Amino acid sequence: MIHILENIDKWTCEYKKCGARCCTPGIQLTIADIKRISLLGHSFDDFMEFDETDKVFRIKGVDGSCYFRGKKLECTIRDNEPIVCRLLPFKITEVSYSDEPIMSLKPVVDCPGEGHGKKIDKKKIEADASLFLHENQKFIRDIKKKGKKGVLEAL
């Protein structure tokens, strides 16, 4: 179940106006994200690290920004960006894996693109959020069974 805690009607990414604030290191990756990005020719060790505390893979940082942020602040993998990035202008505030997985989303604070651009497709946001939940739930099971090394070898 996906809960959108606050509504936004329109949004466009104005990354040049805000200095690409959302392009931070530590963005959580799903297995599908990792596969998609590695098919672009990026090696696992280059772009991601394993968070031992949360048992998830995250994008590495370069100079305090996402590994994939270009010199002109653009996303260098825009057509293959992680699911979390596709959820923008919303960010994940809570995830619970009980009987039914639940995710809460809330708008990014002070985003200059809010209220501009295309109408937000809430069905697409909900579909991407559901995909993230499904992918992450599978990843959690795989990490418990195979460990970090086993998961990477399976890719």
For the residues 120-135, what does the mean pLDDT come to? Answer: 94
Q: What percent of the chain has pLDDT over 70?
A: 100
Q: Which pLDDT tens digit goes with each residue over 37-72?
A: 999 999 999 999 999 898 899 999 999 999 999 999
Q: Which pLDDT tens digit goes with each residue over 11-23?
A: 999 999 999 999 9
- Concatenating the DSSP letter of every residue in 12-44 gives ---HHHHTSTT--TT-EE-HHHHHHHHTTT--H
pLDDT of residue 100: 85
Contact call for residues 155 and 31 (beta carbons, < 8 A): yes
State how far the Cα of 106 lies from the Cα of 63, in Å rounded to an integer: 27
pLDDT at residue 154 tops 80? no
Q: pTM of this prediction?
A: 0.88
155 Cα distance to chain centroid: 19
Reported in sequence order, the residue ranges of the chain that DSSP labels E, i.e. its strands, are 2-4, 10-11, 28-29, 48-51, 56-59, 61-62, 65-66, 90-97, 101-107, 118-119
pLDDT of residue 19: 92
Contact call for residues 80 and 88 (beta carbons, < 8 A): no
For the residues 114-135, what does the mean pLDDT come to? Answer: 94
Contact call for residues 14 and 116 (beta carbons, < 8 A): yes
Q: How many residues does the chain have?
A: 155
Q: SS3 for 70-81, per residue?
A: CCCCCECCHHHC
Please report which confidence band the pLDDT of residue 141 belongs to, taking 50, 70 and 90 as the band edges. Answer: confident
Contact call for residues 103 and 133 (beta carbons, < 8 A): yes
For the residues 28-39, what does the mean pLDDT come to? Answer: 93
User: Rounded mean pLDDT of the chain?
Assistant: 91
pLDDT of residue 98: 78
pLDDT of residue 1: 87
Q: What percent of the chain has pLDDT over 90?
A: 72
State how far the Cα of 46 lies from the Cα of 52, in Å rounded to an integer: 18
Distances (CA, A) of 114 to 32, 58, 118, 131: 29, 26, 10, 24
Q: Which pLDDT tens digit goes with each residue over 76-86?
A: 999 999 999 99
pLDDT at residue 36 tops 90? yes
Instruction: Tell me the two tokens of residue 77.
Output: 């993998």
